[in-house]
Structure 1
C-alpha cells in the first residue's frame, strides 16, 4: 500500500492550485477570532462534512488495514470540518467583511470543496486535508514529547479551533506507527517514532514548498490587521511613520492628473491623512489596494475632497488591472509583507513605461540594541539553537537589490537608500499585539511552535517587556529599526 509521503510529489501541484483557487483544505485562520460560529451553524458544518465523506468516500475504502489511518472515516470527516470552516471563514471575513459565518457561506464552502473533489479526485482532496492536520498533530507531539494523551485529545495545545475531540486521531496515529506509548509515567503519554519524525519533516517541507504555511501566515496577518481598530493610533504613537510618509510623498515624482497605484494602503494614512490624493490634483486618480477588508472599510469612512480615490481589496502579488494602467506606484511599509519578486513583477506589469515605483519598507529586526535583544532573547536564542537563518520575514539589506538584478528588463535608475524607522516600544501590550497579532513579523520562527507554545511565548514576551521597561525606562526603549527607500523606473523594452 502506497505511503502518503510517496504521494507528495503528485499532491504538490494540486495543493498549489487549490491555494490559488482559495480552497483551504486545512486550518488557516487559526490565530485570530475571525468569525463567530453559532451552534446551529457548527451543526451545519458537521452535517456538510459528513455528507462529503458519505458521498465521495465509498464505504469499501474504509475496509483497509488499521495501519493505514489516512483513509479512516473519522479523520476524513474531521479534515472536512476544518476545510469547510476555513474556506467559509476566508470568504466571509476576508472577502465580504462579515463578522460571523452564515449558513449560505458554509454551503458555498462545501460546494467549492465538492467541485475540487470532482476536479482533482476525492482521495486527493481528503489526503491533502488530512496532511495539514497530521502536520499540526505531529509537530505538537514532537515539541511536548512525551505528550500527555489527555492534552493531545483535548486539542487545546495544538488545535484549539477543532470542534471535535481527537481520541480517534490519537488511536490512528498510534496504529499507524508514527507515535508510540510512553510508560514511564503514571499518566499515559505518547511520543513520535522515527517514522513519525521522518513524516513530520516530509510534511513540513511539503507545506513550505507548496506555499501553504505562507498562505496561512498571510491570511492570519490580513485578519489581524483588519481587527486592529486602533491601528492608526498605534502607528502614530509608536513610530516616526508620519515623517516617513511625508518624505515618501516628497520624493515620489508625482504630478497632477496622474493615475497612481498605492499598494498596501491600509486605513488610508498615506492616501488621505498624508495627502497622497492632493499630489495628483483635482483631475488625478488614486487606486489604493490592500488585502485587509477591515482596514479598507476604515479607510473609506475617512472624509476627503479632491482627486478621485478608489479603494479596492487586492494583493500586490495578484493585481486585478490591465497592463500599462498606472502612471506611478507608491506604497508605505507594504513590500516586506509580500512575495517580493512576484509583487515587483506585477507592479511592473500594471505600470506604464517610465512610471516610477517609490516605497519604504522595513528590514530584518536588529539584534544589536541591548533592550531589544534582552526582550526578544527567547526568540533569538531558540532560533540560534534551531539553526534558523532568520527569526522574522523581513528582507535583508541586499535582498531587494539582488531580486531586481534577476528581473531583467523591468526596472532602471534604481535608488536604494537606508532609512531609520523609530519604534516607541514602551507601550508593551500595543507593540506585542502589533508584532504578533497584526504584523506577524516573527512567523518564520513561530511556525515551528504548536499553537499553545506560541501563546505561551507571547505571554512570556509581554511579561518580559514590562520588566525591560522598568530596567531601561521609556527613553531607553526607542527601537532604531533599519529600513530602505526604493525608487526605480519601469522600462518595457525587450532585452
Structure 2
C-alpha cells in the first residue's frame, strides 16, 4: 500500500493544477448548484471513464489486502470532477452555478490528471485527502456519533452519500475505531490515526495545498461581498486618504505602463487616481483573482473615458504577461492575500529592469488591543503559538521577500484607525474575507468553523453594546514599500 511519501509528487502537482478534491474550495454558503442535466453529465462521464481505465490490479497497488468497495474508484472520480466543476465556476464567474462548460472542463482536467499520474496514485491521494478531513474532525471532537460521521454533516456537508466506505477503510487501517457508549455507536481516532493525521497535515502544508485552499476560499468570499466598498468605508473611513498618499509614494509617472495587482472594486484604480495619473500616453492593466470584484471595478469604468485601462482576471502568483512587460507594478491592500514570495517573484518577472514595485499592506494584527483580544477570543483560543496568531505579514516579511529581486528598497510604517462598530461587518470582513486566522481555522471541521465565526460575531455585538465609538477604534499598523527591479541577468561588476 502506498505511504504518505509515495504520493507527495501527486499532491504537489494537484496543488499546482485546477483540480480540486476537497469542495471546501468552492463551498461558500453551501450554494453550489448543479441542475439535473449537469449532474447526469458528471455521473455518466465519470462512470464511463472509470469503467474504461480502472483495473482491479490497482487495488493491490493502492490498498494491499485492505477491503475496498468496488464503487470507491468511481466515487473518487465523481467527487473530484464535481468539486473541480464547482471550483471552476467560482474561479471564472464568481458565482456558484455550474454550467455545461464548467462540467466539461472539469471532466477533462480530472481525466488528464488521472491518466498522467496513474489511477492507483490518484486514488491513494484522494483517500489521503478525504481521510485528512475525516481524521481532522475526529481529532477535533474527540469522538463523533457514527451517524454524524457517516452523513458528513459536521465536517463534509458537501457530500451527498454516506461515508461508510471511508469508515470501514479507516477501521481496517487501524486509524479509527468504533465503540459503544450508553447503547450508542461512536467513532474515534486511534493513536495511529493521530500520528497519521500529523503526517497528512505536514504534507499538505509543505506542498502548499492548504494555502491554496485558504486563498481560494478568500477569493470566493470576496466575490460574495457585494457591499465591499461600503464595508471598507465603515471599517476604515480614512482609506481614501491612504490610497492617495500611497499613489504619491509609488513615484509612478504619466505615460508609464502600469500593472495593478488585486485591484478589487477599483478604489485605487479610479478613486485614488491611478488611471488619471498614468494618462492616455501610458496604460494600466488592473488584475484581480475574484471575477465579481473585477465586475464591480469594470462598472466604475463606465462613466470614464479611459481606453488606456484594461482588466484581466489573474492571481498575483501566476500573471499572464510576458517578461519585462511593465514599468511599474503596484498593489494596494493585496499583498497579504497572496503567497508573498511567489507573488514578489512574479511581479519582478513582468517588470522591466529598473521598473518600480510598490506595495501598501497591513502588518501583523494588533492582538494586544483589549477590544481585538476579546472580539476574536473564540478563534484566537485555537492558537497554540501566540507569537504568530494571524496570517498578516510581519514588518520584515515583505522586505525580506523583495530583497533578492529589488534594490533601493524604501519602507515606511504608519497606522490607520479601524472602527469596530459593526459586529456583522467586522467579523465577516476579517475572518471570512481577509482570512485572519486561516492557518488555524483550516484545521477545524466546517460546522465548527461556522459556529466559531458566529460566536465571534456575538462577542462583537456584546462589545459594541458596552463601549463608545472611541473605545471601539483600533489603530492598525500598515507598511508602504517601494523598490527598483534588479537586472538578474546582468553580469556582476568585475566579471568579464
TM superposition score category, shorter chain reference: over 0.9
Q: Once the 2 structures are TM-superposed, how far is the Cα of residue 265 of structure 1 from its aligned partner?
A: 0.4
In structure 1, the residue matched to 2:368 is 368
Once residues 79 and 231 of structure 1 are traced to their aligned partners in structure 2, the CA distance between those partners, rounded to angstroms, is 37
Aligned counterparts, 1:369-408, within 5 A: 369-383=369-383, 386-387=384-385, 389-405=387-403, 407=404
In structure 1, the residue matched to 2:55 is 58
Q: Give 1:421's match in structure 2, choosing from 386, 403, 416.
A: 416
Aligned in 2, Cα 1:70/1:424: closer, same or farther, shift over 3 Å?
farther
Once residues 401 and 93 of structure 1 are traced to their aligned partners in structure 2, the CA distance between those partners, rounded to angstroms, is 33
Offset from partner CA, 1:107-163 (integer Å, 9 cap, x none):
321222111122111111121122111100011111112211111111111000112
Is the Cα contact below 8 Å between 2:279 and 2:308 reproduced in 1?
no
Does residue 476 of structure 2 align to residue 481 of structure 1? yes
Is the Cα contact below 8 Å between 1:260 and 1:330 reproduced in 2?
yes
Is the Cα contact below 8 Å between 1:284 and 1:307 reproduced in 2?
no
Aligned counterparts, 1:427-446, within 5 A: 427-446=422-441
Aligned counterparts, 1:201-240, within 5 A: 201-239=198-236, 240=238
In structure 2, the residue matched to 1:254 is 252
| Deviating more after overlay: 372-381 vs 256-265 | 372-381
| Deviating more after overlay: 133-142 vs 342-351 | 342-351
Q: Once the 2 structures are TM-superposed, how far is the Cα of residue 338 of structure 1 from its aligned partner?
A: 1.2
In structure 1, the residue matched to 2:450 is 455
Q: Once the 2 structures are TM-superposed, how far is the Cα of residue 350 of structure 1 from its aligned partner?
A: 1.1
In structure 1, the residue matched to 2:12 is 16
Once residues 161 and 69 of structure 1 are traced to their aligned partners in structure 2, the CA distance between those partners, rounded to angstroms, is 27
Is the Cα contact below 8 Å between 2:288 and 2:314 reproduced in 1?
yes
In structure 2, the residue matched to 1:469 is 464
Is the Cα contact below 8 Å between 2:240 and 2:271 reproduced in 1?
no
Aligned counterparts, 1:161-176, within 5 A: 161-176=158-173
Q: Once the 2 structures are TM-superposed, how far is the Cα of residue 380 of structure 1 from its aligned partner?
A: 2.5
In structure 2, the residue matched to 1:345 is 345
Is the Cα contact below 8 Å between 1:355 and 1:489 reproduced in 2?
yes
Aligned in 2, Cα 1:286/1:21: closer, same or farther, shift over 3 Å?
same
| Deviating more after overlay: 479-488 vs 167-176 | 167-176
Once residues 371 and 98 of structure 1 are traced to their aligned partners in structure 2, the CA distance between those partners, rounded to angstroms, is 35
The ranges of structure 1 where at least 4 consecutive aligned residues each deviate by more than 6 angstroms after the TM superposition are 63-67
Aligned in 2, Cα 1:317/1:66: closer, same or farther, shift over 3 Å?
closer
Q: Once the 2 structures are TM-superposed, how far is the Cα of residue 222 of structure 1 from its aligned partner?
A: 0.9
Q: Once the 2 structures are TM-superposed, how far is the Cα of residue 278 of structure 1 from its aligned partner?
A: 0.6
Is the Cα contact below 8 Å between 1:92 and 1:105 reproduced in 2?
yes
Does residue 169 of structure 2 align to residue 178 of structure 1? no
Is the Cα contact below 8 Å between 1:66 and 1:176 reproduced in 2?
no
Aligned in 2, Cα 1:387/1:359: closer, same or farther, shift over 3 Å?
closer
2:320 is paired with a residue of what secondary structure? coil
Does residue 129 of structure 2 align to residue 132 of structure 1? yes
1:15 is paired with a residue of what secondary structure? helix
State the superposition RMSD in angstroms: 2.2
Q: Once the 2 structures are TM-superposed, how far is the Cα of residue 33 of structure 1 from its aligned partner?
A: 4.3
Once residues 98 and 298 of structure 1 are traced to their aligned partners in structure 2, the CA distance between those partners, rounded to angstroms, is 14
In structure 2, the residue matched to 1:90 is 87
Offset from partner CA, 1:445-465 (integer Å, 9 cap, x none):
101211111011011101111
Q: Which runs of 5+ in 2 are unaligned?
A: none
2:27 is paired with a residue of what secondary structure? coil
Offset from partner CA, 1:397-420 (integer Å, 9 cap, x none):
222233334x1xx21111111121
Q: Which runs of 5+ in 1 are unaligned?
A: none
Aligned in 2, Cα 1:152/1:388: closer, same or farther, shift over 3 Å?
farther
Is the Cα contact below 8 Å between 1:36 and 1:101 reproduced in 2?
yes
Once residues 250 and 307 of structure 1 are traced to their aligned partners in structure 2, the CA distance between those partners, rounded to angstroms, is 23
Aligned counterparts, 1:140-179, within 5 A: 140-179=137-176
Once residues 71 and 253 of structure 1 are traced to their aligned partners in structure 2, the CA distance between those partners, rounded to angstroms, is 63
Q: Once the 2 structures are TM-superposed, how far is the Cα of residue 64 of structure 1 from its aligned partner?
A: 9.2
Aligned in 2, Cα 1:375/1:68: closer, same or farther, shift over 3 Å?
farther
Q: Once the 2 structures are TM-superposed, how far is the Cα of residue 251 of structure 1 from its aligned partner?
A: 1.6
Once residues 472 and 127 of structure 1 are traced to their aligned partners in structure 2, the CA distance between those partners, rounded to angstroms, is 53
2:254 is paired with a residue of what secondary structure? coil
Task: Name the TM-score, length of structure 2 as normaliser.
Answer: 0.92
